[in-house]
Amino acid sequence: MSSFLPGLPHASLEIAGARLDGEELAGAVGAVAASLADRTRVALWCTSELETGLGIAGALVAGVTVVPINPASGDRELAHETGDSRPEAVLASATAELPPTLEALPRIVIDPAARAPLPVFDIDPDATALIVYTSGTTGAPKGVVMSRRAVAANLDALADAWAWTSTDVVAQALPLFHVHGLVLGTVGPLRFGGGVRHVGRFSPEAIAAALADDATMLFAVPTMHGRLLAAAEEDPAVADALRSARLIVSGSAALPARVHEAYTAATGQHIVERYGMSEALMIASARHDGPRIPGAVGTALPGVEIRITDDAGVVMPVGDTDTIGNVEIKSASLFDEYLGRPDATAEAFNDGWFRTGDVGSLDDAGVLRLVGRSSTDLIKTGGYRVGAGEIEAAMLEHPDVVEVAVLGMPDDDLGERIAAWVVITPGSDLTDDVLVQHVADLLAPHKRPRVITRVDELPRNALGKVQKKRLLG
């Protein structure tokens, strides 16, 4: 039995309608592990299908490092991530159509019908479990190296905070290349011996059906919760399904207070907000037996310390929620390093505390409230974290784009929508649709700008730096 996934022989895994339970699931995971003999690091093509769940579980029990790959990534992203992490092979389903960058790697096919015993050897808890790539806010995305010890500690801390046990079944429709869907929503239930009900493509009706069946917990992002709320207000069956859940969790972006309040009115549920990032997994959360405060992300999880500092790195007083500063943490679940980037790793810490890049406050009860980033260049849209610099760089590759600045604008559905202010070459016939498609050809679809404003010039300070806040008026 795997010490990392001890509950696997009792768990169930269902993704997009395909399902394996108990010993059949354990056997399929064992077969993936057997296929990884002599491998140390593999890419995982993270589609919303059963093979992805088997792939991550099989690699973890085999002690093989996984590099999750977003199937919607652009060619440049794939080339950077695979060139940086150098996986020895790619794990994928038999039917997956891989892009040329990944086709160059040996392909290990995940077969849900194959069976083999689970490995029984011990694996160093400090060995690397995952290399997850950041959003590329400043420069190219960085590989976050996460140990097995860190992943296990974080999941166990969430089990404490949420009273998460083997009796729980998680409903979700999250992207499986992201830690929210892959680690929390898939590895978590397999570790505890519960169930995963990933519905494939998100719809309120599919989530409601999972909850009406046997799911007890729901993991979703604010965009999904907004659509679930709208459906619940129109359809009593959706409202009843949501009402039946033991715990409903929201993360990856701030949940508007109005959604909290309306959700409670429509379903009786008080949503649990949590806060995390690739470098630390989950940092804070409302507890199952504690208050759920709109506009707050709860208290530090077990094994996590949080402090607020000013821009000089000096610790600020706790208790005054009007006192806002930089959120820094120590955690049992912190990453080991940015792959091959000792400079960036060192810059991320202040006297042993990790600089999250977020800004917020702590009250006397240790409740954390976030007000945004310390810069304007991280955009949270539809549950994704998107770097403005990466989009700007892609747009500037179009020959008719002279200058560009990208920001996130408030959006009731997405949290933030991506907006671009663009200076175009005089006389150009470049249309907005062509420019958006240009970005889509280079980057993932969720990174396309949704609003384009044409301007004659961008506002700059005396040093030539673009003053983005002035673009918002």
Query: 319-346 pLDDT, tens per residue?
Result: 876 677 889 999 999 999 999 999 999 9
Does the pLDDT at position 378 exceed 80?
A: no
In a domain, 218, yes or no: no
Question: Does residue 462 carry a pLDDT above 50?
Answer: no
Q: Are residues 152 and 26 in the same domain?
A: yes
Q: 109 in a domain, yes or no? A: yes
State the alpha helices, DSSP H only, in 279-330: none
Structure confidence at residue 372 (pLDDT): 62
Is residue 206 within 8 Å of 238, Cβ to Cβ?
no
Q: Are residues 422 and 360 in the same domain?
A: no
* Predicted confidence (pLDDT) per residue in 267-311, tens digit: 999 999 999 999 999 999 999 999 999 888 999 999 999 999 987
Q: If you average pLDDT over residues 432-451, what whole number do you get?
A: 93
Same domain, 115 and 149: yes
Using only C-alpha atoms, what is the Rg of the chain?
A: 22
Long-range contacts of 412-417 (CB under 8 A, 24+ apart): 412/226, 412/256, 413/223, 413/226, 413/227, 414/223, 414/381, 414/382, 415/221, 415/222, 415/223, 415/253, 415/254, 415/380, 415/381, 415/382, 415/383, 416/253, 416/379, 416/380, 416/381, 417/381, 417/450, 417/451
pLDDT grade, residue 463 (50/70/90)?
Answer: very low
388 and 316 fall within a common domain: no
Taking Cα atoms as reference points, which of 129, 140, 115, 120 lies closest to residue 44?
A: 129
Q: Please check whether residues 399 and 460 belong to one and the same domain.
A: yes
Per the structure, the complete domain to which residue 282 belongs is given by 272-373
Residues 193, 133 share a domain: yes
Tell me the Ramachandran region of residue 136: left when phi exceeds 0, alpha when psi lies from -120 to 50, beta otherwise: left
Residue 473: pLDDT over 80: no
Q: pLDDT confidence of 246, banded at 50, 70, 90?
A: very high
User: Measured at the alpha carbon of residue 465, what is the angle toward residues 460 and 471, in degrees to the nearest 5?
Assistant: 50
| Section 408-419 average pLDDT | 90
Higher-pLDDT residue of 128 and 257 is 128
C-beta of residue 281 within 8 angstroms of C-beta of residue 333: yes
pLDDT for 278 equals: 93
Total domains in the fold of the chain: 3
Would residue 164 count as lying in a domain?
yes
Q: Identify the domain boundary among 325, 358, 373.
A: 373
Task: Give 118's pLDDT tier (boundaries 50, 70, 90).
Answer: very high
Mean pLDDT (the chain, rounded): 92
343 and 456, same domain (yes or no): no
- Kindly state whether residue 192 falls inside one of the protein's structural domains: yes
- Asked if the model's pLDDT at residue 1 lies above 60, the reply is no
> In the sheet that 65-69 helps form, which strands lie side by side, from edge to edge?
107-110, 89-93, 41-45, 65-69, 128-133, 143-147, 337-338
CATH number of the structural domain spanning residue 435: 3.30.300.30
Q: What is the mean pLDDT of residues 95-115?
A: 95
Q: What is the CATH number of the domain that holds 286?
A: 2.30.38.10
Least confident of 55-69, 253-267, 454-468: 454-468
Same domain? 397 vs 347: no
Domain end position, chosen among 329, 351, 373: 373
Rounded to whole angstroms, the Cα distance separating 255 from 229 reads 12
Q: Same structural domain for residues 87 and 174?
A: yes
In-domain check, residue 406: yes
Same domain? For 411 and 286 the reply is: no
Strands (E), 301-383: 304-309, 325-331, 337-338, 349-350, 353-362, 368-373, 378-381
pLDDT value at 404 more than 60: yes
